[in-house]
Amino acid sequence: AQSVTQLGSHVSVSEGALVLLRCNYSSSVPPYLFWYVQYPNQGLQLLLKYTTGATLVKGINGFEAEFKKSETSFHLTKPSAHMSDAAEYFCAVTDKAAGNKLTFGGGTRVLVKP
């Protein structure tokens, strides 16, 4: 069975500082990995995805993530936080065996301090 662990349910960063959100997954076959962002009382918006190919993936709003197979990780980063980055972030995994089902992590809420 697949699983996703997001380390830290809450992260606080200063505006302009590095944002680092951690995601570790388990999957018995090569995974497809996704990061989503959720603003209050809204649905989830796709930030980026890894399927195959280049392990460093760039997404919207200046975010990027690196797939590290040896570490079973897919951490999300942004070099300089902006106030508008305050939101909840979810890592999710699927693979060919799971078909079209996603498994989500518990989420990390980001607070940006001025």
Partner 1 sequence: DGGITQSPKYLFRKEGQNVTLSCEQNLNHDAMYWYRQDPGQGLRLIYYSQIVNDFQKGDIAEGYSVSREKKESFPLTVTSAQKNPTAFYLCASKTWGGNQPQHFGDGTRLSIL
Query: Contact between 73 and partner 1 (CB under 8 A)?
Result: no
Query: Contact between 1 and partner 1 (CB under 8 A)?
Result: no
Q: How far apart are CA 95 and CA 37, in angstroms?
A: 21
By beta-carbon proximity to partner 1, the closer residue of 10 and 80 is 10
Query: Contact between 32 and partner 1 (CB under 8 A)?
Result: yes
Structural tokens at position 6 = 């997001």
Q: How far apart are CA 78 and CA 57, in angstroms?
A: 12
By beta-carbon proximity to partner 1, the closer residue of 9 and 14 is 9
Q: How far is the CB of 96 from partner 1 (least distance, A)?
A: 5
Contact region with partner 1 (CB under 8 A), list: 14-22, 61-69, 76-84, 103-111: 103-111
Q: Torsion angle, CA of 28/58/92/27, rounded to 10 degrees?
A: 10
Q: Which residue has 């392990």 as its token pair?
A: 55
